[in-house]
């Protein structure tokens, strides 16, 4: 009996300590930010820079280039021509080159990657193009970086272009890089001016350096336009787990979470998961900003296009076209190191009519400042 | 919750081990979980732990996992390990999209079940008739599901959607809400009173925006229980999974029951695929959209000790933890760590009453470590947050693994003698 008493006593002491511990939660926690809806007031905006009187953005040198002797090979990433995104954009650049420079259609070859294929398949694809005499060969997407490093060394006389990545030490590989952070900066400005509650959000697909460039630019842009703005951010999956680019249900929940916290403009850089973010915005009656291509006109998200204010454009078509043109002129040095705002490598879309003349003036002002170097946009958060 | 614990010492330990029937244990666990979350959300000031939005998210993310898990349950209860759930689910997504864009959501459900069941039939032929190793056949079906749908979608969807990886949009289900009731719960929820608001938040999440598929899925849990544990057919099916030789000697058709179980298993996994396609955020087939949910479903089933109720709990845990990290991020998941500390505290009290000093000491150590973690961090790093559900499962499996019992002849190839 005494043993039992002791056991109960110990239990009682433990119980008390549980109670005490239960009282020792942090007070710093979530606070009352659930019922934020409606409490957020309109933004106080920083004075926007004035738009330049005439924006002469690199008036394309109109001299005719003859590319009829070129044999152009394109190696797409997963999806290939018809993905309504990245690869299609590259294909558009090739199509423009065909019509403008007199490249013969039969002298071009397009090959496409399979999901989860191994390195060897990519190498074989590039090697096949190179040994059939295609020159230049363009690899669309950073997935080709490793295989191009090997294959380019085997074919030193063939010119390679690589979208979204660089290969160290290979002189015949031209990197076609983009300043996504600069375009995202403008997306941040758009979000700040479109937000009614001065509270915006960012949903990234996978937390890799490429997508962090989008985040960094967006945050900086939104803060530049409205210093006191609140910004939510969420990556669907961490680095290494690439399902974040194709999980629309999870994208939807991430966006819903931000909307419930009070965000009313969401910028997505989440690939095929972006569909879920648009859907969440539509259900909640808020706005969203698309990415890569002009998503307002994209068929796969047509049912939610009325929420898409704008899209951050990444002009893979411009890069591919310029690269082919530079090869035809035999003047690769003329290519920009990075396709940025200055050369229209990135930008914003105005389809849908939600960006009025006033906002466009503000955007052109920021754009001019970035081009002049008065604003440096960070590429890391 | 604590009061129920304190009744324990009066119970003699050995003879009557099963004090409560299964449903009562389930009810008590649910009440305990709600109470725990409620206390945690009150103490840490994170109302989103029990908000209606979080609950809705959890339910939506739970559905495919639950259906895959039910599929696993059916197959494994008949003694066939089904690691091919993922592949059957992928076939289900394709089937759902193919019928869905033409004839609407109900046709999508039927077609998904048929496609998944075809995958199940294949698995049954390989494992039951030809005696192929269950794991080998399952892996083959995963590969086949991915490859076949890729071929079919290039063939069928590409001309329509101009994208070989995606189908044309599918029509969604209408969703239903208990309007007046939900509004009243909404008022209660915004009151932020301990327990009442939390229960109201969770209930409100459960009664707003419910699609017919959600209702059907939830109903499939008790239905599976009824069929497998309360009918003659179910008894025979389970006997095949426990000891096929004995079942055979008593005249049970072993092959027939295995076939039925694995085909139903495939159909349920296919339905899980339909739940993904018909999710309001997706509404189309997309290559790779299952993202390993078939495997998670299998994990939820093991978590649930090969029982429908436990499986529901496991799937809900995955849905909840995943939903919480997607919606709120690291600081909220950290609040959940605090909840685990309280839970461990309760376990310590329970172990002390039962005089299990060693387990109590172990629980105290873990609790103190977690509490230090909770106090020292402001938020859990993103890399960990994404895998919070997986870690919770690991922890639970580590603690409960001795008490898990799989069907005795699970994974054993049976040859009729």
Ranges of each domain in chain A = 72-178, 180-314+350-372
Q: Tell me the residues of chain B between 350 and 389 that have a Cβ less than 8 Å away from chain A.
A: 352-353, 355, 360, 371, 374-375, 378, 382-383, 386
Test the A interface: residue of B214, B281, B359, B389 with most A CBs within 10 Å: B281
CA gap A185, A133 in Å, rounded = 41
Whether B55 maps to a domain, the answer reads: yes
Q: Which of residues 140-179 of A touch B (CB under 8 A)?
A: none
**Structure confidence at residue B1 (pLDDT):** 37
CA distance A313 to A320: 15
Residues in chain A closer than 8 A to B283 (CB atoms): 275, 279, 303
Mean pLDDT by 10 residues, chain A (381 residues): 60 64 55 44 80 54 73 83 75 88 86 76 91 91 88 91 86 91 94 94 91 94 93 89 86 93 93 90 94 85 89 91 89 87 90 88 92 89 83
Task: Give the pairing of strands A160-163 and A199-207.
Answer: unpaired
The pLDDT of residue B379 is 77
Judged by CB atoms closer than 8 Å, whether chains meet at A250 and B322 is answered as: yes
- pLDDT of B11: 44
Residue B160 maps to a domain: yes
| pLDDT for residue A36 | 42
Whether the full predicted model's pTM is greater than 0.80, yes or no, is yes
pLDDT (tens, 9 = 90+) of chain B, 417 residues, equals 344 444 444 444 444 555 677 788 888 888 888 888 888 888 888 888 888 888 999 999 999 999 999 999 999 999 999 999 999 999 999 999 999 999 999 999 999 999 999 999 999 999 999 999 999 999 999 999 999 998 999 899 888 877 778 888 898 888 888 777 888 888 888 876 777 888 888 888 888 888 999 999 999 999 999 999 999 999 999 999 999 999 999 999 999 999 999 999 999 999 999 999 999 888 889 888 898 899 999 989 988 889 999 899 989 988 988 888 888 877 888 888 888 888 888 888 888 888 888 888 888 888 898 888 888 888 777 677 777 767 777 777 776 667 788 899 998 898 887
Of A7, A22, A34, the CB nearest to B352: A7
pLDDT score at B4:
42
Determine, for residues A257 and B349 on separate chains, whether the beta-carbon distance falls below 8 Å.
no
Residue B201, domain member (yes or no): no
Q: What is the CATH number of domain A72-178?
A: 3.40.50.2300
Q: Take residue A249 and report the two structure tokens written for it.
A: 């249900």
Superfamily of domain A180-314+350-372: Response regulator (3.40.50.2300)
What are the tens digits of pLDDT across the range A312-340?
999 999 999 999 999 988 888 888 889 99
Among A247, A255, A273, A307, the residue to mutate for chain B (most B Cβ within 10 A): A247
A72-178 shares its CATH topology with A180-314+350-372: yes
Instruction: Note whether A84 and A311 are within 8 A (CB).
Output: no
Q: Judge whether B287 is closer than 8 Å to chain A, CB to CB.
A: yes
Residue B325 lies in a domain: no
3-class SS of residue A312: strand
Report the gap between the CA of A204 and the closest CA in chain B (Å).
Answer: 11
309-328 in B: which are within 8 Å (CB) of A?
322-323, 326-328
Q: At what angle do helices B293-303 and B254-277 cross, to 10 degrees?
A: 120
Distance (Å) from the C-alpha of residue B324 to the closest C-alpha of chain A? 9
Q: For residue A88, what pLDDT is reported?
A: 81
- The pLDDT of residue B33: 87
DSSP for residue B286: B
Chain A residues 83-112 with CB within 8 Å of chain B:
83-84
Give residue A333's pLDDT.
Answer: 84
How far is the C-alpha of B380 from the C-alpha of B250, rounded, in Å? Answer: 56
The domain tally of chain B equals: 1
pLDDT score at A277: 94
In chain A, which residues have their Cβ closer than 8 Å to the Cβ of B48? 30, 34, 260
Contact criterion met (CB below 8 Å) for B337 and B370: yes
Best mutation site among B142, B277, B282 for testing chain A: the one with the most A CBs within 10 Å?
Answer: B282
List, as ranges, residues 37-96 from B with C-beta within 8 Å of A: 39-40, 43-48, 51, 53, 57, 60-61
Query: Are A82 and B164 within 8 A, CB to CB?
Result: yes
Is residue B415 a part of any domain in this protein?
A: no
- A-chain residues within 8 Å CB-CB of B335? 25, 29-30
Q: For tokens 């007046």, name the residue.
A: B180
Distance CA B29, CA B34 (A): 8
Determine how β-strand A72-78 pairs with β-strand A108-113: parallel
ipTM score assigned to the predicted complex: 0.85
Residue B199: inside a domain, yes or no?
Answer: no
Q: pLDDT (tens digit, 9 = 90+) per residue, B90-125?
A: 999 999 999 999 999 999 999 999 999 999 999 999
Structural domain containing residue B244:
51-175+210-311
Question: Which residue in the set A35, A114, A243 is minimally distant from B291, CB to CB?
Answer: A243
* Per-residue pLDDT, A25: 64
Contacts of B374 in chain A (CB under 8 A): 26
In a domain, residue B165? The reply is: yes
Query: Hey, is the C-beta of B159 within 8 angstroms of any chain A C-beta?
Result: no
Q: Give the separation between CA A72 and CA A312, rounded to whole angstroms.
A: 28
């Amino acid at each position: 009996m005494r043993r039992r008493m002791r056991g109960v006593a110990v239990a009682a002491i433990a119980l008390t300590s549980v109670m005490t511990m239960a009282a020792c939660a942090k007070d710093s926690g979530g606070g009352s930010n659930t019922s934020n809806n409606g409490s957020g007031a309109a933004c106080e905006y920083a004075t926007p820079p004035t738009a330049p009187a005439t924006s002469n953005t690199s008036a394309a040198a109109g001299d005719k280039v003859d590319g009829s002797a070129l044999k152009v090979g394109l190696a797409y990433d997963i999806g290939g021509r018809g993905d309504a995104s990245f690869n299609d954009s590259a294909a558009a650049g090739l199509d423009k080159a065909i019509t403008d420079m007199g490249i013969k259609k039969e002298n071009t070859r397009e090959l496409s990657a399979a999901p989860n294929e191994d390195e060897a398949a990519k190498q074989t694809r590039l090697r096949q193009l190179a040994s059939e005499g295609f020159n230049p060969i363009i690899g669309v997407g950073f997935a080709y970086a490793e295989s191009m490093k090997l294959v380019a060394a085997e074919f030193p006389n063939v010119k390679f272009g690589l979208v979204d990545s660089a290969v160290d030490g290979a002189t015949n590989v031209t990197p076609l890089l983009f300043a996504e952070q600069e375009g995202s900066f403008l997306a941040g400005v758009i979000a700040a001016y479109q937000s009614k509650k001065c509270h915006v959000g960012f949903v990234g697909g996978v937390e890799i350096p490429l997508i962090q460039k989008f985040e960094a630019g967006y945050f900086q842009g939104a803060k530049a336009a409205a210093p006191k703005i609140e910004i939510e951010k969420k990556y669907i999956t961490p680095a290494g787990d690439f399902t974040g680019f194709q999980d629309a249900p999870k994208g939807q929940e991430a966006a819903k979470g931000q909307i419930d916290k009070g965000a009313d403009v969401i910028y997505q850089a989440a690939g095929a998961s972006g569909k879920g973010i648009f859907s969440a915005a539509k259900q909640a009656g808020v706005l969203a900003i698309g990415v890569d291509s002009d998503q307002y006109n994209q068929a796969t998200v047509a049912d939610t296009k009325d929420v898409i204010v704008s899209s951050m454009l990444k002009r893979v078509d411009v890069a591919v076209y310029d690269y082919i043109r530079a090869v035809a002129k035999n003047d690769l040095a003329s290519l920009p190191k990075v396709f940025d705002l200055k050369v229209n490598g990135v930008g914003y879309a105005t389809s849908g009519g939600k960006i009025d003349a006033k906002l466009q003036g503000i955007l052109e002002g920021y754009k001019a400042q970035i081009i002049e170097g008065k604003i440096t946009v960070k590429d890391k958060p | 919750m604590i009061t129920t614990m304190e009744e324990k010492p009066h119970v003699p330990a050995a003879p009557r081990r099963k004090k409560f029937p299964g449903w009562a244990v389930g009810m008590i666990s649910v009440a305990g979980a709600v109470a725990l979350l409620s206390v945690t959300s009150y103490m840490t000031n994170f109302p989103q732990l029990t908000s209606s939005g979080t609950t809705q998210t959890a339910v939506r993310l739970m559905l495919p996992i639950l259906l895959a898990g039910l599929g696993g349950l059916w197959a494994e209860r008949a003694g066939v390990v089904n690691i091919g759930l993922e592949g059957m689910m992928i076939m289900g997504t394709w089937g759902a999209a193919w019928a869905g864009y033409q004839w609407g959501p109900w046709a999508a459900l039927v077609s998904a079940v048929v496609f998944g069941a075809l995958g199940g039939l294949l698995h049954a032929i390989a494992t039951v008739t030809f005696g192929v190793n269950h794991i080998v056949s399952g892996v083959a079906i995963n590969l086949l599901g991915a490859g076949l749908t890729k071929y079919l979608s290039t063939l069928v969807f590409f001309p329509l959607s101009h994208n070989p990886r995606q189908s044309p949009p599918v029509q969604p289900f209408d969703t239903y809400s208990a309007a007046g009731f939900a509004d009243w719960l909404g008022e209660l929820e915004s009151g932020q009173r301990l327990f009442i608001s939390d229960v109201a938040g969770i209930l409100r999440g459960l009664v707003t925006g419910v699609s017919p598929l959600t209702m059907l899925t939830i109903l499939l849990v008790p239905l599976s229980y009824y069929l497998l544990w309360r009918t003659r057919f179910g008894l025979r099916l389970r006997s095949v999974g426990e000891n096929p030789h004995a079942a055979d000697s008593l005249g049970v058709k072993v092959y027939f029951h295995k076939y039925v179980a694995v085909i139903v298993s495939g159909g349920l996994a296919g339905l899980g695929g339909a739940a993904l396609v018909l999710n309001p955020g997706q509404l189309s087939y997309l290559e790779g959209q299952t993202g390993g949910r078939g495997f998670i479903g299998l994990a939820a089933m093991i978590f649930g000790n090969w029982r429908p109720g436990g499986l529901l709990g496991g799937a809900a845990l995955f849905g909840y933890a995943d939903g919480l990290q997607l919606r709120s991020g690291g600081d909220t998941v950290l609040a959940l760590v605090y909840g685990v500390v309280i839970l461990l505290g309760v376990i310590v009290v329970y172990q002390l009453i039962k005089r299990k000093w060693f387990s109590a000491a172990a629980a105290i150590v873990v609790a103190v470590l977690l509490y230090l973690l909770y106090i020292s961090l402001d938020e859990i790093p993103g890399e960990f947050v994404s895998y919070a559900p997986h870690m919770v499962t690991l922890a639970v499996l580590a603690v409960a693994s001795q008490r898990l019992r799989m069907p005795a002849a699970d994974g054993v190839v049976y040859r009729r003698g």
